[in-house]
Amino acid sequence: MKHTLAEKWFYRINAIILGLLSLSCILPMIHIVAVSLSDNKAIDSGFISFWPKGFNLKSYGTLIEGTNVIAAFRNSVLITVVGVCLSMLFTIMAAYPLSRRYFAGRRPVTLFMVFTMLFSGGLIPTFLTIKSLGLVDSYGAIWLLGLVSTYNMMIVRTYFQNIPEEVEESARMDGCGEIRLILQIILPLSMPVLATIGLFYGVHYWNAFMNVLIYINDANKINLMVMVQRMVQSQSMLQELNNLQPDDVQAITPESIKSAGIIVMVVPILAVYPFLQKYFVKGVMLGSVKG
């Protein structure tokens, strides 16, 4: 289709604006990578921009040797993997019956769930509930609070509704039961939206901060996000990391250690995205519009 002159200018301006917004997100990350890989003298001089000067990996070595970053990384992986599995299971269990017309209570149940997107019980009642359940200082509190996202459930529900009813009728005529219908028909056809929602949940659990800060008291159970935040704010921890260096070696600058911690925290979730990118746009678009 041939575009008019006005449409061409619109697309050009739109591309420029989106390009500038993308650079505003990418350039700070490139700068942090450059700082984490640069020599201490170059960092102190303040001339690091978007390319490392004096390639140096000492900040990463100091981070691994002087902190519990490995244990925090394992905790983050555990929280994310188990949390995504539980959330996907319960989201599918909630979305599937709400997408079927023969489920008599689907409208009031849907309204009750949408209500939680507008109003919540508040921090203190939530904490008292978690405490009464005996989940304080356990990952159960993190998983329970993020078990089902109403927004994600609505996307999955709408996607299920878009699957032709003829597919379900054909399967039932062949003697397919409800469980087998979900596992062998519905879920394989819903891989785009499931991959997308899985990515949403993965980012949510990997970046869990406030819930971990509130409900996890054991220092050995904190995740990578909380550990990096404490390291960035704690000058005493940075000084202890510097004391690990031999006397004849120049001290690691706090900026390089902070940057290394941020990179270790961000890179794993970025590495997952390319494998799910092909499902991402398709899953969100098909799951957001009923037609």
Confidence of residue 289 (pLDDT cuts 50, 70, 90): very low
8 Å CB contact between 231 and 238: yes
Q: Cα angle vertex 186, ends 183, 190, to 5°? A: 115
Confidence of residue 139 (pLDDT cuts 50, 70, 90): very high
On the CB side of 35, CA atoms within 13 Å amount to 24
Q: pLDDT (tens digit, 9 = 90+) per residue, 83-104?
A: 999 999 999 999 988 888 888 8
Mean pLDDT to the nearest integer, 52-76: 82
Mean pLDDT to the nearest integer, 34-54: 77
- Whole-number Cα distances in Å, 73 to 79, 227, 241, 258: 10, 9, 18, 16
For position 279, what pLDDT does the model report? 66
On the CB side of 219, CA atoms within 13 Å amount to 6
8 Å CB contact between 152 and 195: no
Mean pLDDT to the nearest integer, 49-63: 78
Confidence of residue 290 (pLDDT cuts 50, 70, 90): very low
For position 248, what pLDDT does the model report? 40
- CA gap 135, 144 in Å, rounded: 9
What percentage of residues in the chain have a pLDDT greater than 70? 87
Q: Which helix (H) or strand (E) holds 254?
A: helix 254-288
What kind of fold does domain 57-288 have according to CATH? MetI-like fold (1.10.3720)
Mean pLDDT to the nearest integer, 223-245: 71
